Structure 1
């Protein structure tokens, strides 16, 4: 499997600070993308359609008009698995601690040392990469567990064919196709053919 390069999403309403962090992570060999507001970042997150690519979020806790905490809560409501690391001012530490107790990855108080920030983000990235590898292995095992007929139905699904077309191609009834389709989705842990195609492509499974 080709290694996926996790994105670091930097969410901060200070343009100079955003640019400095993008430069910092770029200089350390990481792919970073900056967002000027919680709203802009959430729009990009929603576009993932719950098919989350690996990423870590670095977010200022105080932003206008949507605060970092409000952005985090909205991200959680999307069931987004991305670790969130808050950047805080001295007066925001109590809020940041509460956010961590509520599921945030960690927080770092400004001003901070670059190396400390990079170390914390890289620790979160290692967690994401480990989970990604586990997911790929689970899907490979699920793929290997498919019967020969299920594999034939799977190949037809990935070509975008409907049940009736699959039945005609394989010489079976549409009801039998539905049975195999349900088994495939259950084994692969997906709920639709689109999600199945996405996961197969994401992990380069065939």
Structure 2
């Protein structure tokens, strides 16, 4: 039995199973729960999407989707997750004839696909890989929020100075660019360092460049 690392974590971790075949849902639930995972099942893509509206956004999760379902298909669900900015790692359950279709889902960002009938070890290894990706994604998203919160403290002028620091401009060049004195540039630099809680220019650049939003 594979004791999943999520049983040791304080952070909630959930595997969603979305399949319109009750027997498949029951089989996956039994296999995953017996290996220590927390599982939530849904009989349709529509019900799954509805459930996410009331789900804690800090929940680290991944999803196992059936490629072919009545109503919204697994591929359409994958597109919805992407378009609605719900980028949890997903993998697909496929029949033998759906392999080429499953490959196309990987081009859209799916972690992998697993063919029926699947082996327990292969299934658990796949879920572990998805959780590993989900943890990294969650950590990066959290760091981006912290960075954006810090950058929001800067005044408009401080942002202009920061942009030029990131571009490699010297104090004199920044002063000329903005029509201010070198001492004023130095004062802005000091304020920027304090507000962003960094001690070196290297740390300042690392933080500024990690922000995906324009300064």
Fold-level match, TM-score > 0.5? yes
Change (3 A) 1:24 1:127: same
Counterpart of 1:10 (choices 17, 29, 32) is 17
Is 1:23 the counterpart of 2:55? The answer is: no
Q: Aligned-pair distance for 1:133?
A: 3.8
State which structure, 1 or 2, has the greater radius of gyration over its C-alpha atoms: 2
Change (3 A) 1:27 1:52: same
Q: Aligned-pair distance for 1:136?
A: 4.8
Q: What residue number does 1:119 align with?
A: 125
Is 1:36 the counterpart of 2:43? The answer is: yes
Contact residue 12 and residue 59 of structure 2 kept, 8 A: no
Distance 1:136 1:79 in 2: 15
Aligned length: 149
SS in 1 for 2:114: strand
Contact residue 7 and residue 55 of structure 1 kept, 8 A: yes
Contact residue 46 and residue 78 of structure 1 kept, 8 A: no
Distance 1:91 1:3 in 2: 40
Residue ranges of structure 2 left out of the alignment (5+ in a row): 1-8, 154-194, 197-207
Change (3 A) 1:27 1:126: same
Residue ranges of structure 1 left out of the alignment (5+ in a row): 148-182, 190-206
TM-score by length of 1: 0.63
Contact residue 52 and residue 80 of structure 1 kept, 8 A: no
Q: What residue number does 2:74 align with?
A: 68
